Structure 1
């Protein structure tokens, strides 16, 4: 219970609470936490301004591609030829060009393979043992009979003259005969080929043994230009598998030759549907162009027919894409294809939403995928910029996971073979489609450096995914975004964490660090620190400032402050630059009320307290163990004090009180008459990370009231603060962070008076062999087959 103390009005006058709470200089770090980031961020300049906007000298170079490639379905191989036209918009002379050769990740002596660490466990599978020094991040990707990585046939200028080049791991330098001047475009031609790996999470093929066919998901498949910018010069950091891609924008013309019974989905618009689709399929496309629900363009029956025949003929699909940073495609004779073209933003411009999937994806994919694509474009576009491209595609790649590219994504989520699925599979599929399609905005449009800063695309995208999931279904079981969902990660040992502001390849616990923690931080900013209105405006400003440009972390930090007028440096420093957790501890609450000096009240309270103190164990037992005291046996032993009641209000007491009341000012009289209660809460910052202080008072009458204070409440003392609140009602209980807004890692110390923790439950289990549990749909189907209706009767 809360202990009540009394205050006497008028004795103390004004007290400087700020000075009273300032501890010795060696015991607190508040000024450090609330000082500006200053030199931690790069100095603003004419390329990137102090406001977070692009400066007057901001530039980015352009890479245009003309590619002709063939998919060898017999040998799982890509053979290609490309012409890259690279335009230098910087102010620098470029003596050489750097290109990315990401397929070299799979070479036997790649940096990725040689830098792997780990020991031998007592029990290991053959794949695990093989994977200890494998060049792939997935052991089964590598076929020992094949050589992986690029086979560069030649590098020439457009006149056919050979250009010297040097391959260094996943990078290739092409030396120019004459330095490329500012404003000048140069073109180079490269012929190349490589063996496709099994799908490893980003690219590759999936083989279906039952019918002997392949689904291909082809990405980082051609030599691609590196970025040259004002921050790093050439961004030619090696590809180690975890840190993703950094690419310049450009225009693409791509011709892809495949077996003529394959369907192809790709970045950009298809230019020759009239040649590659049947008349029936073309008519379905016309129907889909005016449909608000998905229309099947290529059916499962057609796919099964193609799978059996396996044509040996070839045909070429032509695509064009403008102002994109990459190009990917999917190809298979096993694909079912549905689509609809809708006015997503009600502005008269229609966008295609499409899905390609094998029969293994149904019934989930036909029901949800394309609708989720459209929803994602709408949700993201409303809070960032309208989706500028003509099409967005979701392809069903493997059982789980996903990967993103401009206008196309490869997504998991596969039902059981009997067509049933768990709730987790359903929502997992919807979530991964939202996430990967959402990547069109971050980083395909807001073009961040993924090789260096994974959080700038994964974190921002996961935050928008969380909002889109709730807009899809208010009860959506989102995995990331809510503060309490990051607590388990924040509680891990600091030695097993790195700050968000870590280079992509150096991140431990990649999912929690690069996805969940930044997404949660943005949710905390939106809901708790800034408020939705300020945050949404600032976030949209960032997206619009940097659409089709390449922002850095400082540009994001500065823009959110610039557009909201909220000082967030303390938040960036704590949440992004450290691994400190939040742990606010409600140590103590003191309850004060004004001593009115009314003897009727004060003596009644004193009498009640005196009577309560008499109820000791000795007193209780003495009632029976002492049959009669001396005074009870002999009344002559009594005197004045045996009948004296010190709690009786005398005439003298009344006159003194009347005189006291007469001396009070009108303001003081009002203060006494209100009967206010004053509660002083002592709160410790045990975790180190400062956050707003939010607590809830639960009153004795059952009502509740929230009290909210900004993080700046810690600015003079980041170790311990006291905060006093005044209420007319009496408080039964105080609760810190009642709505789980700040990711507090220990809620057991958030309540005062303390409450007992719930017991940890355990079960008695019999030893049994493990079998995979059936999903609820399978159980329901079994009940139905057994003749059990909804009432449970036969």
Structure 2
């Protein structure tokens, strides 16, 4: 094709460096498909990320009788498990989890725990070094029998127990067996842990959170066979769905909060409490079932005897309960997608001011929000228990949020309490319903749930602190590997050095970036909801999530999963250079004037100093030395130049004239991928007239070179400044190189009077407390 003179000129000015690019290696691993990393689709799990036509999973039903001995601080239990083999395989043995064995004297969790001696150590800190030798922890198995009472052989392997069956359990068949056991309940405040007892020396009472408390079936599935990785304390639980019938015997003045629905309310509640509970079902605001005054009366004198609370739960993967005479209890029926769910909170007086105001309302908000973005909440109750910690189970979770003794609290405590309730109630979805393998992949429950927590908190209150705001500086530091302990998200749960950053914050940020920046809300929300719908009450794996998000959205995200989940790359994209490119108009009045302005912009330093000193040149002194060239300027506009320009214009076509007279500005911008993680380019153009606009370039721009890319932009106004990622939506680790021209970095120093406050002291109480004191004066 023949080019006109103007076309040839434009080709020269705007030509991309094709020859340079052709020399690059296009085997770009950042955009390779994930095929070699994901399992091959089959009849159980499809390439679309959905359960296959032959998908199966096991089931385990439990009938349990348990008793809390408050004097011995011991939990005893007798259970019957009915195990359904829905797999196509014959099973000759079963694996049962004994999670309490993580606290046994010979536990590996203590052996592998790194410890250090310090110059000053408390008695409790010293006991931790030795693994609490005075505490006899772990499950004590008294018997394992078949349905006829005959002993079954078993072998305990640390936190796992293998039960050998007398005959192979064939596909489609079931087997029942019973286990009798007990264990000594640990001091949770002293020894840490998800469950245990907490003692309140002020009133002499205990608060029990009973978790991981009964021998539970391990998961047998199509991917791993038996999931019997040892429980070392970090990686949580892989569990099988089933039905539970649980009888819990406790001191008669205790209130029990539990997974499931209470079956015998008239036997354990007073007539007044029953009446209040019925009222709560239709109340607009939480109703007190047990008041603060009643709980305080219970604390004063321990009643004699016991009561047995009976709970049933259908299609749950676990069971937990809390028990104490200290509990205050409120409840409210929540309308949620055509169903009423009882949102209930249990808490000691130490948390009254916060929990009575917020806890049940936060539960209701969490159920409504999660249901909107996943599936309608399927269970009849949702419970928040204040236990000064954070842990989740079906229908019940344990949280924190205690006030000062005068009932005041800091904003940080309030924000933390609301956040942890949303997070732990949200775990009903991930992993209690969308039942991922926590022992292997913590991010599949913690990461997805932390993302949904963020969404929920933003819908609770505008500007509420969340993962994508509060933790971004920590995340950036982690992703950059500043302490050398960064691991890919796709790391086994027990092998993660920085658990919170890797399993919670980084995947939550990744999904936020995916929703807000890469996919957009419409596509993301549809695909995320599809994943929840497909895998509700099933056992999804990472590939099922990755594939469903792509399948339901029509967006190729392999580059995103690879970068964020399989590598330790981080986001740091720099605007390396900006070159303004102008069209040569050939108009001598414009083009020569520009050249003259550029030439004269920087005067000669010698000429400047000569003029400053008053020096008069010889030619100035002797005008007869001047000739033609003293007045000639090669950049002056001549009649010949004007005539040549007019002739040039006549030879231009319509399209060429349109470009020539468009009055557009052209900018060639180069971007460098410093951190290695490819992301979309979000560029803000700040114009000289004070206006601005944002343009978005998909991440695929990096396909033809993942280190440096160049893009030409045309504008109708002159640009004063280019800014990358102006809304800080990609977790870019270095924002200083996001601006061009570079801005001067400013820092401040502070002059202060030395204060005599001791290390670690705060300067007084919380703002609420100070305000109350001021009002009382």
TM-score bracket relative to the smaller structure: over 0.9
2:208 matches 1:211: no
Equivalent residue for 2:514, pick from 525, 538, 551: 525
Equivalent residue for 1:82, pick from 79, 82, 88: 79
* Counterpart-to-counterpart distance in 1, 2:378 and 2:561: 31
* Counterpart-to-counterpart distance in 2, 1:753 and 1:382: 45
Q: Which residue of 2 aligns with 1:782?
A: 773
2:467/2:508 contact within 8 Å kept: no
Q: Please give the per-residue CA displacement for 1:222-241, whole angstroms capped at 9, x wherever unaligned.
A: 11011110111111111111
Deviation of the 1:711 alpha carbon? 1.2
Q: Which residue of 1 aligns with 2:262?
A: 270
Equivalent residue for 1:568, pick from 531, 553, 557: 557
Which secondary structure state, in structure 2, belongs to the residue aligned with residue 370 of structure 1? helix
* Counterpart-to-counterpart distance in 2, 1:778 and 1:741: 37
Deviation of the 1:445 alpha carbon? 0.1
Q: Please give the per-residue CA displacement for 1:461-483, whole angstroms capped at 9, x wherever unaligned.
A: 00000000000011101134688
Equivalent residue for 1:371, pick from 339, 346, 361: 361
**How do residues 395-794 of structure 1 correspond to structure 2 at under 5 angstroms?**
395-398=385-388, 401-480=389-468, 484-485=472-473, 486-493=475-482, 495-614=484-603, 616-759=604-747, 761=749, 764=752, 765-770=754-759, 771-773=761-763, 774-786=765-777
Equivalent residue for 1:101, pick from 88, 98, 102: 98
Q: Please give the per-residue CA displacement for 1:667-722, whole angstroms capped at 9, x wherever unaligned.
A: 11111111211111111111111111121111100111212111111111111111
Q: Please give the per-residue CA displacement for 1:224-273, whole angstroms capped at 9, x wherever unaligned.
A: 01111011111111111100011000000011111111111100000111
Deviation of the 1:737 alpha carbon? 1.3
Q: Which residue of 1 aligns with 2:31?
A: 34
Equivalent residue for 2:50, pick from 50, 53, 70: 53
1:677/1:730 contact within 8 Å kept: yes
Deviation of the 1:274 alpha carbon? 1.5
Deviation of the 1:611 alpha carbon? 3.0
Equivalent residue for 1:333, pick from 322, 325, 337: 325
Which secondary structure state, in structure 2, belongs to the residue aligned with residue 132 of structure 1? helix
Deviation of the 1:170 alpha carbon? 0.8
- 1:610–1:236 distance in 2 versus 1, CA, 3 Å: closer
Equivalent residue for 1:288, pick from 251, 265, 280: 280
2:261 matches 1:252: no
Deviation of the 1:643 alpha carbon? 3.2
Deviation of the 1:495 alpha carbon? 3.3
2:8 matches 1:10: yes
2:10/2:583 contact within 8 Å kept: no
* Counterpart-to-counterpart distance in 2, 1:20 and 1:725: 21
Q: Which moved more, 1:735-744 or 1:59-68?
A: 735-744
Q: Which residue of 2 aligns with 1:164?
A: 153
Equivalent residue for 2:293, pick from 295, 301, 317: 301
* Counterpart-to-counterpart distance in 2, 1:311 and 1:29: 77
Q: Which moved more, 1:767-776 or 1:96-105?
A: 767-776
TM-score (norm: length of structure 2): 0.96
Equivalent residue for 1:243, pick from 235, 240, 244: 235
Deviation of the 1:625 alpha carbon? 2.2
Deviation of the 1:8 alpha carbon? 6.9
1:30/1:714 contact within 8 Å kept: no
Ranges in structure 1 where 5+ consecutive residues have no aligned partner = 1-6, 135-141, 787-794
TM-score (norm: length of structure 1): 0.94
Q: Which moved more, 1:638-647 or 1:564-573?
A: 638-647
Q: Which moved more, 1:704-713 or 1:599-608?
A: 599-608
* Counterpart-to-counterpart distance in 1, 2:128 and 2:306: 37
- 1:201–1:439 distance in 2 versus 1, CA, 3 Å: same
1:117/1:132 contact within 8 Å kept: no
- 1:35–1:391 distance in 2 versus 1, CA, 3 Å: same
1:482/1:520 contact within 8 Å kept: no
* Counterpart-to-counterpart distance in 2, 1:687 and 1:593: 32
- 1:743–1:153 distance in 2 versus 1, CA, 3 Å: same
Q: Which residue of 1 aligns with 2:315?
A: 323
* Counterpart-to-counterpart distance in 2, 1:555 and 1:254: 34
* Counterpart-to-counterpart distance in 1, 2:575 and 2:495: 37
* Counterpart-to-counterpart distance in 2, 1:671 and 1:734: 24
2:471/2:505 contact within 8 Å kept: no
Which secondary structure state, in structure 1, belongs to the residue aligned with residue 560 of structure 2? helix
Q: Which residue of 2 aligns with 1:232?
A: 224
